Amino acid sequence: MFESILIDIAKKLLRDKTVDLIIGYGSTHYPFRTEPIVIKQEDQADALVWNPFCGNNLARYLKYYKNTQHKIALMVKGCDSRAVQVLLKEDQIKRDRLYLIGLSCPGLVNHEKLQKQFPQASPDDFQWKETGWFFHGEQIDPGLLLEETCLRCRYPNPLEYDQLIGEPQTTSPYQTYQKDYLDPIDDLSPEERWDRWSKEMTKCIRCYACRNSCPLCYCQECFAESTQPQWVSPAATPSDNFLFHLVRTMHMAGRCVECGACERACPVSIPIAQLPLKVEAIIREQFQFEAGTDQESAAPLLTYRENDPGDFIK
Amino acid sequence: MNSGKVTKNDLIQWLRTHQKNFLVTEKVAHHQPELLCDQSKEIKNIKEALFLPWDKLFNYHWENQQWNVENIQPSASPRFLMALPCEARAIYEVLDRVFLQPSETESGYAARRQGLKMVIIGCINPEPTCFCHLVGGNPYWTHPDALFILPFHDEYYLETNQSEQFDIMKKGTTLNKSEKEEIEVLRKQMKEKTNQEKLPEEVPQGLYDLFEDQEWEDLSWKCLNCGACTYLCPTCQCFDMNAEGRLKGFQLKTWDSCMFPKFTLHASGHNPRPTFKERVRQRVLHKFSYFPLREEGRYGCVGCGKCIEICPVNWNIREAVERMVKKIGNRS
Amino acid sequence: MAIDLENKNIYLPRLFRIMEIIPETSDIKTFRLDLEGENSSHLPGQFAELFVPGVGEAPISITSSPTQKGILEFSIKRTGLVTSAIHRLNSNDRLGIRGPYGNTFPISDLTGQNLLFIAGGIGLAPLRSLINYVLDTEKRNQFKKVIILYGARSPQDLVFKWELKKWQMRDDITFLLTVDRGDDQWKGTVGLVPNVLKENIQVNPLEWKSIICGPPIMIKFTIKALLEMGFQPPDIITTLEMRMKCGLGKCGRCNIGPYYVCKDGPVFTYQQLQNIPEEY
């Protein structure tokens, strides 16, 4: 139902030449997977889809058009719209070049959870309605299926859009589940946290899928690839991996929009989103700031205020 | 060629006896979890056993007002490696050809390879992402030096040329005539499927001729240019060498990826592959055109589908190749 | 399967002492290494990987000829991390060498032929190995006429000035020197290499082989001029520059088309270059 609305909107945008291209989600040959697609002609718009497997953060592709003249339409969920806001604030693209097709999102489905709960399911078994999940007509607990980052989502509705598809969500998953993503970690002692993360860092192969799927990692040359000087060794040892991830998290501090694309991209299933999300939780508490939620407040790590929290100075 | 069948108990017992020296790939752990023991080590990518993610080549240090280098003598204890036919093919047909060339043999790889005994598990439930037939493989592929195990009725069929390496063969009972025929028929069916589905012979040269085609730009747009596909691919063999340590250190060899922007960056600043289009094209052509043109038609891809499975944007190399292959012969 | 287990570490460099450093231009130095009684086994056209411990490796073409006994010479332009580190070395320091790698100039094809060498700037370095091989007293009569055309941006950018004088004085070669821009002291020819080629060299292209090296733009226009003069693509030989690491055709970095530049090159004929994508 949403898809036909979406396709009509897309066709009209291209027909009226409001935009030169549309970046959206398309389907693949594999039942529960979508892919990012770019559409330049009206007849290609039939390929667009919108379903709970649209996991990529499409704002990541805006960096290709930074210096071109194209007008771009972009499909944005709540978290994606926050990413666009941050990019606008950081001067990476101008608002008048964008047409944001907002999507009211009740959360994305995690493939591993899906396999576990419903190993034989096919897409036709599911109905996705705005109020929740239905499997063969019966409502199921989204907590069983949603991505971990989605269970803690505070902004299910796009904050900036030109047109919205679907009714706005009336409640956020965070309000429903009251879970903080980091509860399992916050309960651990520092030594236990170190052990836990050391194990995860042993798995990391430094493929940079997390960094490359993030819309806010748009540096021309990443510090991890610099050789003059070399900040971190290319070897995928646990200590070098730690260094890469911790420095990247610090670079994202106050800018991460908590979309979870990094975690979904990781080929070795490291819950890597927990790192920037923890930093964002701290920033929320200390600076009362959330990235991408408004165009006015200044990013905390780029500004100085006299009353900045300083209780770590002893 | 010796063959036989063993009961599940006997096989599990044998695996348990050797479990400390057993490496098992993730694909096998996923397909046949009953063959995994507590102390066998699971590796995500078969090439980790031979072509390490990072490796020391030699040491150097500054002493007595001059530089000194010291060789590192590689050694490896004997181990078993259990893998699916596609992954094993990656070793025999691709990585061995690159790293074990005579007079240019890499000693580290050779030492690890020497001590490795391959156990190939016939693949009985391929995944939607698999396409081994397309590139000349099949789910019952094996090498005479390896032990081939196939789930067969309630038992396991075994086959090898090297019975002295695999003492499980002693427990094997002979198959009767109809069982032997059944195996023959299964094998034949798989080979025929490969013959039907294999990419036509003119593909390597044909893809090369399509180098300037516009389609590469459309195909490569969504690629994130991370290295996930290359790092989880069992055949990708590109590596980097860097000096690690100032006055005392070692020459470091690490995995590298042709998808990274700095892969072909010259010191002068010139980069022959500046954008994602050139790099994606390079990856496809290297596996499906350049490698076969150099290596008598052997593809640099074994069709395991791992890259398609883990790609964050579902970039599908099989679809890409099929799309370009359709264009071969249509050029004016 | 039989594995060739010589246990030889193919990546281990040997260290040799720098005998002499000759400054050529503001950013090019020639390093002469003492092979301590050994003679180099390389052939003209090959390169070696030079290793500076603590910094890294760089592929540099060997500029000395194998007929020069007991020494090895490299001309290095300071461009990046490793070459800068090499420039900071002094005489008596030791430098790591791994090699020789690459294919060679096709000596058997060039034997008994007339040879036209065209070089620009530091491009003379790889050619010099072949030139000195050809000019060696024991080899000279295996080749017929020799013309060397060498040009640089300015008189300060000429390399091997100490050797050019010797070439100018020989009577068994024709030596043409030019600069793009002269200065007050310059009394020689002024002009771009491709132009000087067209104006001064009249030869029967079917009886000559041409070996060229230089900056990409010079190669492009020189090849154009040679083709206009009637040279055939298999008779134009050049050597490519490419980012390399292992030098052995394994690491994949220098792969273009079905070739590995470090193994199937760096010497290619123009005919071969016409068939590979311009990813260099």
Q: ipTM of the assembly?
A: 0.91
pLDDT tens readout for residues B16-49:
999 899 999 999 998 888 888 888 899 999 999 9
**Mean pLDDT of the region C130-152:** 93
Same domain, A88 and A14: yes
Tell me what pLDDT residue A120 has: 83
CB contact under 8 A, C9 and B71: yes
The answer to whether residue C173 neighbours chain B at the CB level (below 8 Å) is no
**Mean pLDDT of the region A9-21:** 94
**Domain encompassing residue A253:** 180-313
Complete DSSP assignment for chain C: ---------TT--EEEEEEEEEE-SSSEEEEEEE-TT------TT-EEEEEETTTEEEEEEB-S-TTSTTEEEEEEE--SHHHHHHHT--TT-EEEEEEEES----HHHHTTSEEEEEEEGGGHHHHHHHHHHHHSTTTGGGS--EEEEEEESSGGG-S-HHHHHHHHH-SSSEEEEEESS--TT--SEES-HHHHHHHH----GGGEEEEEES-HHHHHHHHHHHHHHT--GGGEEEE-----SSSSS-S-TTEETTEETTTT-SEEEHHHHHTS-S--
Same domain, A2 and A94: yes
What average pLDDT does the structure give for chain C? 92
The total number of structural domains in chain A stands at 2
HEC assignment per residue over C14-37: EEEEEEEEEECCCCEEEEEEECCC
A30 contacts on B by Cβ (under 8 Å): 128-129, 308, 314
Report CA Rg, chain C.
19
The answer to whether residue B249 neighbours chain C at the CB level (below 8 Å) is yes
Q: Which of C1, C12, C58 sits opposite B58 (nearest CB)?
A: C12
CB contact under 8 A, B211 and C54: no
Name A69's Cβ contacts closer than 8 Å, sequence gap at least 6.
Answer: none
Same domain, A229 and A169: no
Chains in contact with A, where contact requires at least 3 CB pairs less than 8 Å apart:
B
The answer to whether residue B222 neighbours chain A at the CB level (below 8 Å) is yes
CB contact under 8 A, B254 and A29: no
Tell me what pLDDT residue C102 has: 94
Q: Is the pLDDT of residue A23 over 60?
A: yes
Tell me what pLDDT residue A151 has: 87
Tell me what pLDDT residue A286 has: 87
The answer to whether residue C186 neighbours chain B at the CB level (below 8 Å) is no
B243 contacts on C by Cβ (under 8 Å): 51-57
Q: Which of B69, B264, B272 sits opposite C96 (nearest CB)?
A: B69
CB contact under 8 A, B66 and C94: yes
pLDDT tens readout for residues A213-272:
999 999 999 999 998 889 999 999 999 999 999 999 999 999 999 999 999 999 999 999
Same domain, A125 and A203: no
- Give B157→chain C minimum CA distance, Å: 24
- C7: confidence class by pLDDT, cuts 50, 70, 90: low
- Rounded distance between C-alpha atoms, residue C188 and residue A260, angstroms: 68
Please, what is the end-to-end C-alpha distance for chain B in angstroms? Answer: 51
Same domain, A107 and A251: no
Q: What is the dihedral of CA C210, C215, C220, C226, to 10 degrees?
A: -20
The answer to whether residue B29 neighbours chain C at the CB level (below 8 Å) is no
Same domain, A148 and A186: no
Tell me what pLDDT residue C265 has: 87
The answer to whether residue B256 neighbours chain A at the CB level (below 8 Å) is yes
What pTM was estimated for this model as a whole? 0.92
CB contact under 8 A, C243 and B265: yes
User: How many inter-chain contacts (B to C, CB under 8 Å) are there?
Assistant: 139
- A181: confidence class by pLDDT, cuts 50, 70, 90: low
Complete DSSP assignment for C138-167: TTGGGS--EEEEEEESSGGG-S-HHHHHHH
Least confident range of B55-59, B99-103, C21-25, C204-208: B99-103
pLDDT tens readout for residues C159-187:
999 999 999 999 999 999 999 998 888 98
User: Which structure tokens are listed for B155?
Assistant: 């038992």
Tell me what pLDDT residue B37 has: 87
Q: Is the pLDDT of residue C221 over 50?
A: yes
In chain B, DSSP assigns E strands to 2-6, 22-25, 41-43, 54-63, 66-71, 79-83, 116-121, 147-152, 155-160, 239-244, 248-255
- B332: confidence class by pLDDT, cuts 50, 70, 90: very low
End position of a domain, from candidates A143, A174, A205: A174
The answer to whether residue C54 neighbours chain B at the CB level (below 8 Å) is yes
B230 contacts on A by Cβ (under 8 Å): 207
CB contact under 8 A, A213 and B310: no
- Give B128→chain C minimum CA distance, Å: 30
Same domain, A74 and A189: no
Percentage of residues of chain B with pLDDT beyond 90: 77
Q: Is the pLDDT of residue B171 over 90?
A: no
Tell me what pLDDT residue C3 has: 61
Tell me what pLDDT residue B241 has: 94
Same domain, A203 and A102: no
- C134: confidence class by pLDDT, cuts 50, 70, 90: very high
End position of a domain, from candidates A140, A174, A208: A174
Same domain, A164 and A254: no
Most B-contacting residue of A28, A115, A208, A241 (CB-CB within 10 A), to test interface: A208
**Mean pLDDT of the region C22-26:** 94
Tell me what pLDDT residue A121 has: 82
Same domain, A15 and A159: yes
A61 contacts on B by Cβ (under 8 Å): 222
Same domain, A148 and A279: no
pLDDT tens readout for residues A56-82:
999 999 999 999 999 999 999 999 999
pLDDT tens readout for residues B113-140:
998 999 999 998 888 899 999 999 999 9
Tell me what pLDDT residue C6 has: 59
Among B residues 153-192, those touching chain C with beta carbons less than 8 Å apart: none
CB contact under 8 A, B224 and A233: no
Higher-pLDDT residue of B105, A140 = B105
Same domain, A131 and A262: no
**Mean pLDDT of the region B280-291:** 95
Dihedral sign, Cα of residue B163, residue B164, residue B165, residue B167: positive
C33 contacts on B by Cβ (under 8 Å): none
End position of a domain, from candidates A106, A139, A174: A174
What average pLDDT does the structure give for chain A? 89
